[in-house]
Copies of this chain bind each other. A is one copy, B any other.
Amino acid sequence: MSEYIKVPHEIEERSFEIITEELGDKTFPEEIGRIIKRIIHTTADFQYADITVISPTAIQSAKDAIAKGVSIVTDTQMAKSGINKMKLKKYGGDVHCFISDEDVALRAKEKGITRAMVSMEKAIADEKNQIFVIGNAPTALFELKRFIEEGAVKPALVVGVPVGFVGATESKEALEALDVPYILTRGRKGGSTVAAAIINAILYMME
């Protein structure tokens, strides 16, 4: 059997070394770099170094909110599944995803809209939910934008990284125009693993 690294923390350390090496001249402020490198670690896609945008107050706002015990809402079970809930629970927060709830499915069917949209409506009803993580559905991000503009919610952080070909790019452009702390990936790329990586990077820098 061929030899390979089997010790988890060594694998991660070595991965981040390789990423830093291959980024070469592309360097970032410490905390921004930790987020970007964790996204690359998750995707093996260096393009994220160029398309990831972090608003100036986003990281501090998210850290403060997490430290106060706010909860996180995701648009997919996958993003929820990828977030380190043990770390979050230390501060009293939790992760919720309402997409599979029966009331959400029912209302979406009635209105002929996506469950992702209805799940955002449900999310803002509880003011403990202050970090919104959208890794999949542009419709969720557009709906959240509407609630923000109406003053119905004032998020501590919006992670806007929907992936895809219909609306994803536009939904992130809309987020970038908002006066709210955000982390997003311009263009089509993103996804649930990217969304979770961003939140985990913030959780790990709080240790």
Contact = CB atoms under 8 A, between A and B. Distances in A.
Interface of A: 1-2, 4-8, 11, 14-15, 18-19, 41-45, 76-78, 80-82, 112-115, 117, 138-139, 142, 146, 163-168, 170-171, 174, 187-193, 196
Contacts of A14: 165-166
How many copies of this chain? 2
Contacts of A187: 44
Contacts of A8: 114-115
Contacts of A188: 44
A15 B164 contact: yes
Contact of A43 (B112, B138, B189): B189
B78 A42 contact: no
Given A7-B114, A78-B196, 9 more contacts: A1-B142, A8-B114, A11-B114, A44-B168, A44-B189, A45-B189, A78-B82, A78-B193, A192-B193
Contact of A112 (B6, B19, B41): B6
A195 to B, nearest CB: 10
B78 A164 contact: no
27 contacts: A2-B142, A2-B170, A2-B174, A4-B138, A4-B142, A4-B170, A4-B171, A6-B114, A6-B139, A7-B114, A8-B115, A11-B114, A11-B139, A11-B167, A14-B165, A15-B166, A18-B166, A42-B163, A43-B163, A44-B164, A44-B165, A44-B190, A77-B82, A78-B82, A78-B196, A81-B81, A192-B193
